Amino acid sequence: MDAARQSEAGPARALVFRTCTVLGLAMAACTRPGGSPTEAASAVPPLLSPHIRQVTVERLFAEAGSHMTVQGSREVVAFTCAVVEGAACWFGADPEAGSMVGGLSRQVMDDLGEPAVEGASRSQVTVSCSREAGVGSALRCVADWGWGGGWEPLSVG
């Protein structure tokens, strides 16, 4: 190897050595004494569990109109919320035909938590709420976040 190539290789080798050393130290810092990785610490406080307020569900039933269905003895309202170039919720499967009006979409999104919806598969969640026919009965809601877990209970409070 000629002298010019040797002088160029020296700084490059030193850079590679320093980079590997830093990476090695970083990996060691993230490892417990037993050798398994530690859980990542977050500077962001954990999000509250997604939920929906009772007043919001009651408003959904009041404004669902033809989007409310009856299954056995239960009235059911299904809707979808998504975060794609903005946040929106709508009744049924069609965003245009089932759009929520009068701030209801924002109220629902505020309850669910926009970050939770954005973190769902395809940044979209489908929710179904039901009650025994008639006003004043117990409300139940379930959500499908699109990760293959199916319908999961959604807290109503």
Helices (H), the chain: 3-29, 54-63, 104-112, 114-118
| pTM metric for this prediction | 0.69
pLDDT at 10: 53
| Widest pairwise Cα distance in the chain | 91
pLDDT of residue 133: 86
Task: With H, G, I as helix, E, B as strand and everything else as coil, classify residue 86.
Answer: coil
Q: Please report the pLDDT score of residue 38 as a whole number.
A: 37
Sign of the CA dihedral with 125 first, then 137, 65, and 103 last: negative
Cβ atoms 82, 100 nearer than 8 A: no
Joined tokens for residue 140: 């139940």
Tell me what pLDDT residue 135 has. 65
Tell which residue, 47, 26, 48, 46, has the closest CA to residue 38. Answer: 26
Residues in the chain, pLDDT under 70: 1-48, 135
Residue 155 to residue 85: CA distance in whole angstroms: 27
User: Six-digit token pair at 70?
Assistant: 């009856």
Phi, psi of 12 (to 5 degrees): -65, -45
Question: Using one digit for the tens of pLDDT, what is the confidence trace for 4-49?
Answer: 544 454 554 443 334 333 333 333 333 334 443 333 332 223 445 7
CA–CA separation, 83 and 104 (whole Å)? 15
